Structure 1
């Protein structure tokens, strides 16, 4: 999934740097989980995973990838799974959802141009056909769950499949704060659901949808060998950038406003998007966090100066630092911008 700060292409390097410093364990807390790239990586290495994020769509992904530890069987869905022996059960259910008749619901009526012609700028996030597709799938999943035709984990897995599918057909540069005024060729393609990978390990993993510092301060049983921090780096809040994924995940018919049809996100603002509150919040996480090692990802354009991060972390134990070049996030279209940016990794072994 296209996501600001996604560590999918960096997590191997992060783990290599951890191994160099003998930062190992059996459990890890992914404090700002986002698309769960880091949590998934460590789950596949059979770490016990704790993950958290303020955004609900991230919580859906956490439930599907991290909390779930079984292959979904969908035994209450009336499907002849034996009719296609080469298709797993999840793919069979997604095919049924694909083939449902279209429904014009909240997404289609608010984020496609045919239904928003009354606006000064009609919204072009999806074609009407794909908007109807999203609505029919999300409504069917909700109905199945309320009718006890799918389990809780099957419910989250199916929504996660929809969330992972949507970015491939959205008429955007990478985030949902704005849409293209002309159709991107991929947005004109007919939508089909993509199955997610089911990950299984040997632990009872925990997932949360909470403010990280509140969680750390209030749940004193929350502990892990390693805390991994990948907080926001700049003043741009994540909630408005991914408001549409949030609405698809919740499907709660929110009050929306503005050219982009933004939902209210006051309760989802991160303190890491302001330099002063970010410094205070980081200090609290390190102070109150129950861990042996802390690994923090940041970058050279972050609002907290490297020196300030080094000062905070070194107060609490022995630390080290490394940085290396990587490709800038693709949605940044500044022509003058350097294509490369420096990933900064901070490592702390906390004083006992």
Structure 2
């Protein structure tokens, strides 16, 4: 998967085990991001809906969740990937914006992205393979970028991986059915069907995913937007409609409480960490106020995201300071009928890959 702030890689086993223990057959991953958790649910046989506001997340959802691996013609997919991989580079908007005006990728890789993405748009847009091929391109670009994991800045010196050539690979597709929906959760929550389990991993501080991953938004939309700043962010990042209520400190807690109240699921699972604007006590209260019989919390000691490990960098990618906290506590709340909550939180520590489990 692409490098991603807030990725639940370390918790995916726990979240999948919870889904299994509560006997869920249907689930919604409401802030799905890279779809990592939704993929885990699908692998366990659940019918999953992956939901997010990001356009790149919709493509990942269409690839991993909506696409049934058993329905894909593998020979056709391999032929398409081989055709795209053989294209000579042709520098265009992507190269100029993200390789010349900024330094996210080396120009030779940027030119290949331009050529491949143009052909995807002109000849594969209406093909069921489109999200699979575009995901392959996104993953390939992620493997040769020169960032600390977010796209607000790039490194002053090229990352060693940036010298590698773009390499298209077939994504690891999952058998089964699923669904993808894009939209603002505060508006679309009422459109979702009732499910056995809903998982919520909302933004919970000032960091905006629209700007953190603006390169992926542009790669997917392929709309050549006006850009600004050293990082060449999309100009629409300044528009109010691209800003989330969950990135506003005063509004985040009441907005999330309202979302929880409107969520139609037998069991709610919520994850966030101790850097959030909502305390554990406030989260517990919000879940109880939403009418859930029982609420319990799991907590895991965890490394912070890769950028924190590397240090603080300015917009030029220059290291300007050290991060004071290299670890945080990841919380998982489970809310619902007591018997299901008890089953969900009686988890073998080994599925978390951590001995730092606290039950509250």
Q: Same fold, TM exceeding 0.5?
A: yes
> 1:25 corresponds to which residue?
24
CA distance in 2, matches of 1:245, 1:288: 31
Q: Is 1:167 aligned to 2:142, yes or no?
A: yes
Alignment check: 8 A CA contact 1:300 1:344 kept: yes
Give me the whole-angstrom Cα distance separating, in 2, the residues matched to 1:11 and 1:268: 28
2:347: which partner in 1?
Answer: none
- Which residue, out of 174, 187, 209, partners 1:238? 209
Shift of 1:206: 1.9
Q: Which runs of 5+ in 2 are unaligned?
A: 313-321, 339-360
Residues 65-91 of structure 1: CA deviation (Å, up to 9, x unaligned) = 1111144338xxxxxxxxxxxxx5423
1:189 aligns with: 164
Shift of 1:225: 0.7
Deviation at 1:322, TM superposition (A): 1.4
Shift of 1:194: 2.2
Of residues 286, 292, 295, the one that matches 2:260 is 286
- Number of residue equivalences: 320
Change (3 A) 1:27 1:18: closer
Q: How does 1:171-250 map to 2 (within 5 A)?
A: 171-201=146-176, 203=177, 205-217=178-190, 219=191, 222-250=193-221
Q: Give the whole-Å Cα distance in 2 for the aligned partners of 1:283 and 1:350.
A: 19
1:93 aligns with 2:93: no
Q: Secondary structure at the match of 1:159?
A: helix
Give 1:281 deviation, angstroms: 1.9
What is the CA deviation profile of residues 11-39 of structure 1, one whole-angstrom value per residue up to 9, with x for unaligned ones?
Answer: 102334566xx423100100000000011
- 1:232-267 per-residue CA deviation (whole Å, 9 max, x = no partner) reads 132111110000011001111111111111111332
In 1, Cα distance between the equivalents of 2:187 and 2:225? 26
Q: Secondary structure at the match of 2:65?
A: helix
Gap runs ≥5 in structure 1: 75-87, 117-122
Choose which of 125, 130, 134 in structure 2 pairs with 1:155. Answer: 130
Measured in 2, the distance between the counterparts of 1:311 and 1:92 equals 54
Say whether residues 1:255 and 2:226 are aligned partners. Answer: yes
TM-aligned CA deviation for residue 350 of structure 1 = 6.4
Separation in structure 2 between the aligned mates of residue 170 and residue 29 of structure 1, nearest angstrom: 31
Q: Does 1:319 align with 2:295?
A: yes
Counterpart selection for 1:125 from 104, 114, 118:
104
1:328, 1:195 → 2: CA distance? 30
Structure 1 segments of 4 or more deviating over 6 A? none
What is the alpha-carbon root mean square deviation over aligned residues? 1.8
Equivalence for 1:9: 10
- Deviations 1:69-114 (CA, angstroms, capped at 9, x unpaired): 144338xxxxxxxxxxxxx54233212211112111110111113x
Alignment-derived partner of residue 59 in structure 2: 60
Q: Which stretch shifts more, 163-172 or 273-282?
A: 273-282
The alignment partner of 1:67 has SS state of coil
Cα distance between partner residues in 1 of 2:25 and 2:258 = 24
Cα deviation 1:151-196 (Å, max 9, x = unaligned): 2x21111111111111111111111111112211111111111220
Q: Which sits farther off after the overlay, 291-300 or 2-11?
A: 2-11
